Amino acid sequence: MRLHKFIYLFVIIWLNASHIHIAHIGRVDTLIPQQSMSKPAPMLSLCYESLFIPTIWGGYTNQLAKDVNQLANGAIIITLQDQVILHDGQILTSDIVQQSIQFFQQAHCIPSVEAVLSSLKVDVLSPNTIKIWGEDDQNIMEVLSKIPIIIPKDIPIGSGPYRIDTFNDQAITYQKHLRYWGDEHEIDTVTYRFFQSTFDAHIAFKHKVIDAYLETSATRFDQLVSLTPEQTQRLEHPLHRYTPYVWINPNGLLSDPSLRQVINTTLMPDMINQTLFNGHYHPHISIPLSERERMLQSCSLLEQKGYKLDHTMVRRKSGKQLTLTLLLPHHQWDALATLLSSRLRQLGIVLIIEHKNPALYWEQVIEGQYDLVIEPLIPTQYQPIKLPKNILTHYLNLPIPRLLADYQHKLLLISSQKALLHYLIEQQFAIPLFSLNEYRVIHSQAFTATINSQQEIVYRLA
């Protein structure tokens, strides 16, 4: 059993048909795995494998690598698995691994390991043995776990249990790889159909166009639990934790730590969770203050900074209205934005919510034309933490601890990304709202195996 996208869990457990249809929300524009500059197609991990994969307990385990020996100088000697047959019938060789690593070095599409990846050297010792070393030997395994081994083509060739059959702007279809080197899977064909929203997927499910989808609306999921409980299931995964963050522009009004404190206190993640999401999420911050105490604290901070209420109950300083701008590239966070606007208005702060198309949204973010944005951190199989680069560039002029000083010269490794995120949270430039590692699954057949009997699958699938 290899590590794949977690959504494949309910493919295996619930659906015994030879061809299944699953919803994917949004559109994709690349088939290159790990190409973070674009939005990759869903479930590419069915097609592509790496030399190593991360484990839930930390560290790495072999995938396409069979044996690993580390030399005294930090280099590693890797022997490949026997008779790994690629989708085009070729046998995996050291030359293919070398070419794949070189492709990703030139593509510059895995920012979290860019610095170490660019320094890697690969020597082919034999058809199934390679030597890899670099300037940062301690992070070689981390880098290699993020590089899928592929032959670059219009449809990249990989070694996974499925291959891409067809791909267009409506769907992507995977066919079982009949000569796969590992364990065989029961499903012959998997099709992901693209939808603009979860509601569209819900309608398609009701009309039996798809077999399953992930429900993002807590309210609708609770309704379905009441009406058709046999079609609903909550699945948790310990490695997957989706966390929306409010990111604050450090170069505008909110460079003032007192104003950031006001935003942080006003957000009240626990209240937002109950009000908007039926208590499904886990609030990241719990401030031991009552609603009244929070409002009084925020008002006091604003008064101390010279922001006084005028006759329209709007705060001004030197005649200038206290106005903030929240940019949104879609409508997913509209309810949250409206609630935040209402709470800030109670303090006399005007929040302008601006919806932009994605291209214009990121252009304004890069130019720093915003006060607040909402962007989630979503771990994946290959990137346990992936910070939004276009937002982080605005924090480079802050007095960031010495540990992070090299961020100005090269992209961060995971350890440094975690340190940077901790610093930004501590300084209230990044405010985590709530987290969820639970998938709300709607499926067309009754649940046939208990989740407790499938813990090994749950832990190994990603």
How far apart are the C-alpha atoms of 216 and 425, rounded to whole Å? 26
Element (H, E) at 392: helix 389-392
Alpha helices in 108-139 (DSSP H): 114-119
The tokens for 196 are: 């603009």
Span 93-108, pLDDT tens digits: 999 999 999 998 888 6
How far apart are the C-alpha atoms of 215 and 439, rounded to whole Å? 8
Residue 292: Cβ-neighbour burial (10 angstroms; 0-12, 13-18, 19+): exposed
User: What phi and psi values does residue 345 have, to the nearest 5 degrees?
Assistant: -65, -30
**What does each C-alpha distance from 82 to 131, 155, 162 come to in angstroms?**
17, 25, 19
H helix count then E strand count, the chain? 14, 23
pLDDT given for residue 412 in this prediction: 44
Closest C-alpha to 84, from 150, 141, 5, 153 = 150
Q: Where are the domains of the chain?
A: 8-45+160-240+438-460, 48-144, 243-435
CATH topology of domain 48-144: Dipeptide-binding Protein; domain 1 (3.90.76)
How far apart are the C-alpha atoms of 440 and 242, rounded to whole Å? 13
Span 35-80, pLDDT tens digits: 665 677 777 888 999 999 877 666 788 999 999 998 888 889 999 9
Span 356-394, pLDDT tens digits: 887 788 888 888 899 999 888 765 443 444 556 667 666
Q: Does 234 have pLDDT greater than 90?
A: no
Which pairing describes strands 350-355 and 323-328: parallel, antiparallel, or unpaired? parallel
Mean pLDDT within 97-125: 83
Q: Which three-class secondary structure string do you get for 4-32?
A: CCCCHHHHHHHCCCCEEEEEEECCCCECC
Same fold, 48-144 and 243-435: no
Alpha helices in 15-111 (DSSP H): 94-107
pLDDT given for residue 206 in this prediction: 92
Give the distance, in angstroms, between the CA of residue 340 and the centroid of all CA atoms in the same chain: 24
pLDDT given for residue 268 in this prediction: 78
* % of residues, the chain, pLDDT over 90: 32
Q: 141: pLDDT confidence band, cut at 50, 70 and 90?
A: confident
The model's pTM is 0.66
> For all residues of the chain together, what is the average pLDDT?
79
- CATH superfamily of domain region 8-45+160-240+438-460: Periplasmic binding protein-like II (3.40.190.10)
Please name the residues in contact with 165: beta carbons below 8 A apart, sequence gap of 6 or more.
173, 174, 175, 189
How far apart are the C-alpha atoms of 6 and 380, rounded to whole Å? 10
Span 311-367, pLDDT tens digits: 999 999 999 999 999 998 877 788 888 888 998 999 999 999 998 887 788 888 888
Name the range with the highest mean pLDDT among 164-178, 182-196, 234-248, 370-384.
164-178
- Secondary structure class of 200 (helix, strand, coil): helix
Q: Does 459 have pLDDT greater than 70?
A: no
Residues 171-179: contacts with CB within 8 Å, 24+ apart?
172/24, 172/28, 172/41, 172/42, 172/43, 174/43, 174/46, 174/47, 177/87, 179/85, 179/89
Span 252-275, pLDDT tens digits: 899 999 999 999 888 877 777 777
How far apart are the C-alpha atoms of 411 and 112, rounded to whole Å? 6
Which of 83-87, 415-419, 423-427, 431-435 is least confident? 415-419
Closest C-alpha to 342, from 334, 350, 332 = 350
Q: Does 160 have pLDDT greater than 60?
A: yes
pLDDT given for residue 440 in this prediction: 82
Cβ 212 vs Cβ 444: under 8 Å: yes
DSSP 371: S
User: Vertex 430, ends 424 and 433: CA angle to 5°?
Assistant: 135
Q: Does 250 have pLDDT greater than 70?
A: yes
Closest C-alpha to 432, from 239, 277, 295, 267 = 267
Looking at per-residue pLDDT, the higher value among 431 and 460 belongs to: 431
Q: Does 461 have pLDDT greater than 50?
A: no
Gyration radius (Cα) of the chain, Å: 24
pLDDT given for residue 74 in this prediction: 84
pLDDT given for residue 381 in this prediction: 42
- CATH superfamily of domain region 243-435: Dipeptide-binding Protein; Domain 3 (3.10.105.10)
How far apart are the C-alpha atoms of 365 and 363, rounded to whole Å? 5
Closest C-alpha to 10, from 240, 204, 236, 163 = 236
